[in-house]
Amino acid sequence: MKPAWPVFLGLIFNLYWASSVLAAIEFKIDGIENNPSEINYDQSIEVLYSFSGVSFPKTYYLAGAFQKEAGSNYFGYTWNNNWYKYGDEFTNFYKIEIKESSISGKLKIKPDVDSSGFKGRGDYQLKLFRYCNSQNSCGDTNFIGIKIVAPPSPSPEASPSTSLGVMDPSPSPSPSVSPSTPLGTASPSPQPSKIARVKDIVLLRLETPEPVLGTASGQPFDSARGKPDWQLIIMLLLTGTGLLLSTAFIMIRLWRKN
């Protein structure tokens, strides 16, 4: 029987070589593009990452995720020509081909506010995961802290009370008109009842003229002015006097001839 120690030594060597190779791969976050201290709930960021000590060639799929605190759920989206949620099929995530022992790059990610892991505004930590050939990650990076600003709370419903600038449907009393007429303004037109009373008074005065002594129908009356026409009266008196004088003159001449 051959001694087993050469096989045992070979196994130990292979395990040591494999562990040294795995331990040599370093995958880390170097920072965030533009170094923001906080981001909006719908804002995307570019995470700077680097690999070193890789035994190329290698193919990895990278995804990013946020976490409120240790033990809580991861959440987030990773960009690969479209947004893919953390936990989706790993082949949908960002694919890289490593052909050198050391590489660096950027990975675009953003929060997923609809996830149960999002707890509103506050401080979070994020990390990157690398997937090899299964849904389980084959490595991840260090954590880096960042603050996320929560989405605005929904505005309250509008109250049924009348808002500013809207006419109140209830009628307001109209201001009373002062009876005095201001200087320089037109006086109000007479009311129909007053006009009727004035007409009645004028008709009564026309129907009952004052009688004039020596005339059959009373003294002439100027209906336009409402008073006697003295010029007409004088003319009638002069005409009558002239006729009387002419008649007397003719009678005296006839009496002298006889």
Residue 55, domain CATH: 2.60.40.10
What pLDDT shows up at residue 149? 94
CB 59 within 8 A of CB 46: no
| 231-241 mean pLDDT | 87
Verify that 121 and 238 share a domain, yes or no.
Answer: no
Residue 125 lies in a domain: yes
Specify the pLDDT at position 163. 46
Question: Residues 128-157: what's their mean pLDDT?
Answer: 87
**186 belongs to a structural domain:** no
Inside any domain, residue 187? no
Residue 139 has pLDDT above 90, yes or no: yes
> What's the pLDDT at 235?
86
Mean pLDDT in residue range 116-140: 94
Taking the C-alpha atoms of residue 64 and residue 83, their distance in angstroms, rounded to an integer, is 11
Stronger pLDDT, 94 or 232, i.e. the higher one: 94
Residue 105 belongs to what domain range?
11-149
In sign, the C-alpha dihedral spanning 159, 164, 166, 169 is positive
H-helix or E-strand containing 199?
helix 192-207
Report yes or no: 24 and 90 within 8 Å, Cβ to Cβ.
Answer: no
Total of domains in the chain: 2
Residue finishing a domain among 149, 167, 185: 149
> What does the pLDDT look like over 171-190, one tens digit per residue?
555 555 454 544 444 445 55
Q: Are 36 and 134 within one domain?
A: yes
Distance CA 85, CA 122 (A): 21
DSSP reduced 3-state for 129: strand
Residue at which a domain ends, from 149, 177, 195? 149
Give me the sign of the Cα torsion angle 128, 131, 135, 137. Answer: negative
Say whether pLDDT at 103 is over 80.
Answer: yes
Q: Label residue 230 by pLDDT band (50, 70, 90).
A: confident
How high is the pLDDT of residue 124? 98
pLDDT (0 to 100) of residue 167: 52
- Looking at residue 63, its pLDDT comes to 98
Q: In this structure, are 61 and 136 located in the same domain?
A: yes
Bridge-based pairing of strands 38-40 and 144-149 is parallel
User: Domain end: 128, 149, 170, which one?
Assistant: 149
Mean pLDDT of the chain: 77
